[in-house]
């Protein structure tokens, strides 16, 4: 089946599944629109590439809008444009990572303290300590030999 319509004609009322506007591999920007194909049997993605970011430039990396089958192209494009217009404020600082690590350490310490309190109240639940085995390394040419007295062994030269 052939369709004789321009492939990239913009239809603002077209139903859209999702739109992604952000960074693409190769130092360039991309806007990807995922929508049902013309025959309705599968989804197709249309990508439009733009100029890349200059070196050292930072800020918002991407905007992803999941529109569902009820959203139109014009609606999701307005959402993306509004998000790009809004100033990007980074919310992480070096203290944020340190605070996350501190919180994790506090949680682990709380679990250890709870376990210790539980074992103090219930000593029968504590794991049994393992016996340490003592090994006697004899010099070459010697071995342990049993005697007439039960449980007594002596070292003898071979």
Closest CA to 34 of 49, 51, 14: 14
Q: Do 30 and 79 fall into the same domain?
A: yes
Domain that holds residue 106: 94-122
- pLDDT tens by residue, 78-123: 888 888 888 877 777 778 778 877 888 888 899 999 999 999 999 9
Q: Do 28 and 70 fall into the same domain?
A: yes
Whether residue 99 is contained in a domain is answered as yes
Whether residue 132 is contained in a domain is answered as no
Q: Do 57 and 110 fall into the same domain?
A: no
Whether residue 9 is contained in a domain is answered as no
Whether residue 2 is contained in a domain is answered as no
Closest CA to 14 of 73, 70, 58: 73
pLDDT at 113: 96
Task: Tell me which of 85, 105, 131 is where a domain ends.
Answer: 85
Q: Do 36 and 78 fall into the same domain?
A: yes
pLDDT at 110: 92
What's the pTM? 0.50
Q: Do 104 and 47 fall into the same domain?
A: no
Whether residue 32 is contained in a domain is answered as yes
Tokens 């529109």, residue? Answer: 67
pLDDT at 79: 81
| Bridging pattern class, strands 153-157 and 43-50 | unpaired
- In the predicted structure, residue 11 carries a pLDDT above the cut 60: yes
- Domain count for the chain: 2
pLDDT at 63: 78
Whether residue 78 is contained in a domain is answered as yes
- In the predicted structure, residue 5 carries a pLDDT above the cut 60: no
């Amino acid at each position: 089946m052939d369709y004789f319509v321009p492939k990239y004609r913009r239809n603002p009322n077209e139903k859209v599944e999702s739109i992604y506007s952000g960074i693409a591999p190769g130092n360039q920007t991309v806007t990807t629109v995922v929508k049902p194909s013309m025959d309705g049997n599968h989804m197709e993605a249309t990508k439009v590439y733009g100029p890349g970011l200059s070196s050292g430039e930072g800020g918002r990396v991407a905007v992803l809008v999941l529109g569902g089958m009820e959203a139109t192209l014009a609606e999701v494009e307005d959402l993306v444009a509004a998000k790009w217009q809004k100033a990007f404020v980074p919310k992480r600082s070096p203290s944020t990572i340190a605070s996350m690590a501190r919180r994790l350490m506090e949680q682990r310490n709380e679990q250890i303290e709870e376990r210790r309190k539980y074992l103090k109240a219930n000593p029968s639940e504590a794991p049994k300590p393992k016996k340490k085995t003592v090994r006697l390394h004899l010099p070459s040419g010697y071995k342990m030999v049993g005697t007439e007295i039960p449980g007594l062994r002596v070292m003898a030269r071979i």
